[in-house]
Amino acid sequence: MARTTKHGSEGQGNRADPELGQVAAERPGAPSMTTNQGVVIEDNRNSLKAGARGPTLLEDFILREKITHFDHERIPERIVHARGSGAHGWFRPYQSWASITRADFLQDPKRKTPVFVRFSTVAGGAGSNDTVRDVRGFAVKFYTREGNYDLVGNNIPVFFIQDAMRFPDLIHAVKPEPDREFPQAASAHDTFWDFASLMPESLHMLMWAMSDRAIPRSYRMMEGFGVHTFRFIDAAGGSRFVKFHWRPKLGSFSLVWDEAVKIAGADPDFHRRDLWDAIDQGDFPAFEFAVQIFDEEMAASFDFDVLDATKLIPEELVPLTPLGELVLDRNPDNFFAETEQVAFHPGHLVPGIDLSNDPLLQGRLFSYLDTQLSRLGSSNFHQIPVNRPKCPFANMQRGGHMRMSVEKGRVAYEPNSLDPLSPAQDPDRGYTHHPEAMESPKIRLRPESFADHHSQARLFWLSQTDVERTHMVAAFRFELSKVDTLAVRERMVGHLFDVHPELGGRVAAALGLEMDGDAAPVGREVAPSDPLSILKKAPETLATRKVGCLAVDGVSAATVDGFRRAVERKGGKLMIVSMKRGGFRSAEGEMIPADFFVQGGPSFLFDAVLLLGGATPPADFLMDAAARNFAADAFAHLKAIGADEGGVALLARAGIGEADFDEAVVPLASKVTPAAVSRFLSAAARHRLWSREAKVNAPV
């Protein structure tokens, strides 16, 4: 099937593209869309703004009704980001940043600011699996001396949509289909891809969501982004635009797809458990807080709009400036009281940090507060301990459901002359917004500078390694193969051709679609950006990694202890997997306790494995299905494997002969040599041997 038109490309302005059939007059018999009060809606896609690039107006009753209804659709679970894990910690700047912001918590490198961080998935409910393919939330609450500041972001620097008006539609599309309430925590179904295929502005985000970024190895090894453009304001009132970044000090790493699926079955709490265990064992997760800083003149020079949340700023254009470090060092005392009840809001700001006119951010400023009122049941949610500021706070707000503070006196208004000690406004220390000049008409209009939906999607594709591109093609293949409607599959693949002919062609071939790529890609030419690839910047390290040691009776305790010490010297942890839950009896006669029974400790829970079956492996070891799967999965998931004689025999039983061995499979002699240990540790520090993937034809 040859493409004769651009697929679903959307016109700008306040008219939808007729090709999409979204205008009521062009859909005979279809009712006009109205508000809940029966008022016909002219434009359901753009919020009312002061000019095309201006701020969203509070008087937009259509936007407020739509988002208010959406915010209150679930009680009490979060509608999005319901599945979360949290931790306490601290933030400390590297130096004073008074030259760029007056924010107090960024001034003194000797002072630690307490924080609470919540990581989450977006689409699934509170009981869904941790390792599904999804965007991850990365929200940080800073308890500063000037009040609470919330940096509410994701592990992907862009988003699906440009305007908050579309957020309810996006989530309705990705959530379980309402007539059947499945699939849970999954985008691989018709309604999501129908919506996405009609929304070319989502293409850039889809590239990230179909990449390995959407199946992270750990919350501790996951980047975070503020997504939107914000402002820093210095003491003199000077303004600079900023983009926020969190960089994990362990580096960024992901699972492979088959591994993620199997982990979901073996340990649905994999990420939650990993975060808890790391903190509990003193391996405190650490992130570097960095910003891209640029002024309005530089922003105007870019060939994309910094107010468009579907765009990022390549680091080649604006390098990162590291500001400080975030360390998580304490687990919650009570999950519900803290992780579940913590309430984030992008409008929780402190002096020195301000907003931009990003229309998606502007809608979030309304939506987050409204959601907390519904979910936590009261405007007094700020008095819940995890949300309560750690600095003094006082105002004239009184009463309300679940009011916990007890204010004394007869005065609850301002100005007053009856109580000279009552709270009063403070022009000198108070929060002030950047006085941005505005004079624009009230319109529902998308600026032309938001119109390029393809160039940065192509930028992401071109920036990936061959391995990462293969994974993206496989992800699109899996997701779109779950879509029953042929027209949706074809429309979506058409968009992928517009991003890059190779991408469209490979996905079309994988789906068995006869579509060509004769048309030129849409958008401008772009140069690859290496920081967008995980693999190009992945460090080689065993720090906090887990090595699973499958051992049987008769294996030398000295051998196991030698590997344990070697792994621990590199910052990792060796965990014993045994054919019996109690452990194994060593050649020296002592009982070595096990961390896992083999059926409950499959190899995909570990980062590298040792197979120790001894010189004469017992028959039950070689015949046990769980043991064979332990070996086979480790090989298929491209992990480092150390194997003694019995381990080599187990690999053979799993269909992996010595002819299949590669540099990450390390045979161990009866007497393990330091050279063999070193070789194994080196292979394990690389995390995966990607060259093995084509050979094993692993399901990616």
Residues with a catalytic annotation lie at: 81, 154
- Spatial CB neighbours of 14, under 8 Å, sequence gap ≥ 6: 42, 43, 46, 443, 444, 445
Residue 288 and residue 285: Cα distance in Å, rounded?
11
Residue 491 and residue 6: Cα distance in Å, rounded?
9
Burial class (CB in 10 A: 0-12, 13-18, 19+), 419: middle
Residue 665 and residue 61: Cα distance in Å, rounded?
63
DSSP string spanning 422-490?
A: S----TTTS-----------EE----GGG---SHHHHHHHHHS-HHHHHHHHHHHHHHHHT---HHHHH
- Positive or negative: CA dihedral 683, 686, 687, 693: negative
55 CA to centre of own chain: 27
Strand pairing category for 608-612 and 546-551: parallel
Q: What is the phi/psi pair of residue 372, to 5°?
A: -65, -35
Closest CA to 680 of 692, 691, 669: 669
Q: Which residue has the tokens 């960089």?
A: 247
- Positive or negative: CA dihedral 40, 45, 51, 56: positive
Structure-token pair, residue 193: 């891809």
* Cβ 609 vs Cβ 548: under 8 Å: yes
- The helix or strand, by DSSP H or E, that contains position 168, with its residue range, turns out to be helix 167-174
Q: What is the phi/psi pair of residue 689, to 5°?
A: -100, 95
Q: Which residue has the tokens 């309005």?
A: 296
Residue 526 and residue 110: Cα distance in Å, rounded?
43
663 CA to centre of own chain: 32
Q: Residues in the chain, how many?
A: 700
Q: What is the phi/psi pair of residue 16, to 5°?
A: -75, 160
Burial class (CB in 10 A: 0-12, 13-18, 19+), 448: exposed
Residue 278 and residue 526: Cα distance in Å, rounded?
40
Strand ranges in 166-238 using DSSP code E only, listed in sequence order: 224-225, 230-233
DSSP string spanning 141-166?
A: EEEETTEEEEEEEESSSS-S-SSGGG
* Cβ 116 vs Cβ 150: under 8 Å: no
Q: Which residue has the tokens 């790493």?
A: 253
Closest CA to 455 of 528, 519, 518: 528
Burial 658-684 (b: 16+ CB within 10 A, else e): eeebeebbbbbeeebeeebbebbbbbb
Q: What is the phi/psi pair of residue 230, to 5°?
A: -120, 180
Report DSSP state, residue 689: -
Strand pairing category for 353-354 and 224-225: unpaired
Cross-strand bridge partners of residue 137: 120, 154
